[in-house]
Structure 1
């Protein structure tokens, strides 16, 4: 019986991990760096994605704002799996076969992930 690997990854755990890695000292605004932030519910399409509002600059944002994961149609767990498969040296074609998005999507994702890793290592 074939198993869809995407069903084995928990959305809430992916978002929880992003929050812990991104804000180890607690959530802060990506626009003004204020820690005076309040929770403003969850995303309709991705219920594990927390929304926030900054009490200092009044801007609203979510867990993925100002990250390489923001603004894309693929869910966070697909990005996480893509990153894992990249670590296993799978080709874009192999990753697309496992994750089900088309090869063009996978190419864009792997390119962005590689660029993000390079940017992070140069800081």
Structure 2
């Protein structure tokens, strides 16, 4: 009995894209998404940025250096990919599976499709949703799972949109009821949305048109992840690293119950006798 494939055939064919298989292609795609007009320093926003190269190749991949402030950084600094030991190709695969309808339904299927551990997938998804929850634009540009999470994170006034009412048309030639969207427009005016994320076609295949781009949701999600830094995760990590080792050891020790005052008086009387 042959084992059924975890992913559908159409999804597996999309995973053959270079950004899901080649680490250099994945890094180049992230650089094009984050800096579409050229490299910019993440500290002083200077365009005088150069790639750190050399024959020894002792530096990490994709290292950049600002000529103005001397800051060294990569495309993953101050993003959800910062200080992650997971390869960028695996990150791309998980992001694609998370926002593609009909792909992996849970973390176990993602682990089987990508070859990562289930616990690693859970941590990666936690980072993704921590950054996606800050999005203020329309949530229908993402998949159903990510879009539903964004809608649930918003205030209660955003949840229940009024339905259009049916009324008789004022035009004598129209003999059927028409929909009145005046209540919906008033609700949207009281609960405005931000600007939507526009895909730039970076993940488009060479012979593919913009209308046939199947990775447009993945590109939008990547733009949102690159625009938000995991502040909460970094703060928790710094607090944990700042605590001394002996302090963490003492905090794990069981607390002893205070002695009864009556027992203390008995012990003092015995000592006098």
Normalised TM-score (structure 2): 0.39
Q: 4+ residue runs of structure 1 moved beyond 4 angstroms?
A: 5-8, 42-46
SS of equivalent residue, structure 2 residue 52: strand
Q: 2:35 aligns with which of 6, 23, 38?
A: 23
Q: Summarize deviations over 1:52-105 as a string: whole Å, max 9, x none.
A: 111111110112111111101100010000001111352111111111221111
In the alignment, structure 1 segments of 5+ residues that lack a partner are none
Equivalent pair of 1:41/1:52 in contact (CA under 8 Å): no
Contact 1:92 1:103 in 2 (8 A): yes
Higher strand share: 1
The 2-side partners of 1:106 and 1:23 are apart by: 27
> Which has the greater radius of gyration?
2
Aligned residues of 1:41 and 1:50 also touching (Cα < 8 A):
no
Distance 2:119 2:36 in 1: 34
How far the C-alpha of 1:28 sits from its partner, in A, is: 0.6
Alignment partner, residue 60 of structure 1: 72
RMSD: 2.8
Distance 2:81 2:58 in 1: 17
How far apart, CA to CA, are the structure 2 residues paired with 1:107 and 1:16?
26
The answer to whether the aligner puts 1:80 opposite 2:92 as a matched pair is yes
Separation (CA, whole Å) in 1 of partners of 2:70 and 2:131: 28
